[in-house]
Amino acid sequence: MQSLTRISRRLLVPALLSLASCNFLDVGPPPTQVVDNNVFVADASASAAVLGIYVSMTSGGFPGIAASGASTGTLATYAGLSADELLFVNNQFDDFRLNQINAAGAAVQNVWSQAYQTIYQCNAAVNGLTASTTLTASLRNQLLGEAKFMRAFNYFYLTNIYGDVPLVLTTDYTVSGTQPRAPRADVYAQVLLDLLDAQQLLVPAYPVSGERTRANQAAATALLARVYLYQQNWAAAEAQASAVIALTGQYQLPALGQVFLAGSPEAIWQLRRSGNVSTNTYDGANFIPVSLTVAPTATYVLTNALYSAFGTPDNRRTAWASAFTVAGTTYRYPFKYQQRLAAANAGAATEYNNTLRLAEQYLIRAEARIQQGNTATGLADLNVVRARAAATP
pTM exceeding the 0.85 threshold for the entire prediction: yes
Report the pLDDT averaged over residues 119-125. Answer: 96
pLDDT at res. 13: 40
Whether residue 61 has pLDDT greater than 60: no
pLDDT at res. 28: 56
Who has greater pLDDT, 33 or 182? Answer: 182
Who has greater pLDDT, 259 or 108? Answer: 259
pLDDT at res. 207: 95
Cα 364 versus chain centre, distance:
16
pLDDT tens digit sequence for 321-371: 999 888 888 889 999 999 877 665 555 788 998 999 999 999 999 999 999
pLDDT tens digit sequence for 194-243: 999 999 999 999 999 999 999 999 999 999 999 999 999 999 999 999 99
Who has greater pLDDT, 281 or 66? Answer: 281
pLDDT at res. 35: 54
Whether the CB-CB separation of 273 and 280 falls below 8 Å is answered with: yes
Task: Calculate the alpha carbon distances from 270 to 83, 149, 200, 293, 323 in Å.
Answer: 24, 14, 21, 32, 27
Which of 108-117, 120-129, 218-227 is least confident? 108-117
Whether residue 43 has pLDDT greater than 90: yes
pLDDT at res. 280: 79
Which residues, other chains included, contact 284 with Cβ-Cβ below 8 Å and sequence gap of 6+? 337, 338, 339, 340, 351
Q: Which amino acid does the sequence have at 367?
A: E
Whether residue 67 has pLDDT greater than 60: no
The bridge status of strand 321-326 relative to strand 86-88 is unpaired
Mean pLDDT, the chain, rounded, equals 85
pLDDT at res. 347: 53
How large a percentage of the chain has pLDDT more than 70? 82
Whether residue 21 has pLDDT greater than 50: no
CA–CA distance, 288 with 299 (Å, rounded to integer): 8
Task: Calculate the alpha carbon distances from 180 to 22, 69, 109, 127, 168 in Å.
Answer: 9, 28, 17, 21, 10
- Using the Cα atoms of residue 382, residue 387, residue 390 and residue 393 in order, give the sign of their dihedral: positive
Highest mean pLDDT range out of 42-46, 86-90, 296-300, 322-326? 42-46
pLDDT tier at 16, thresholds 50, 70, 90: very low
pLDDT at res. 27: 58
Residue 182 bridge partners (DSSP): 165
What is the CATH code of the structural domain delimited by 1-183? 1.25.40
Render 228-246 in DSSP notation, one character per residue. Answer: HHHTT-HHHHHHHHHHHHT
**DSSP summary character for residue 257:** G
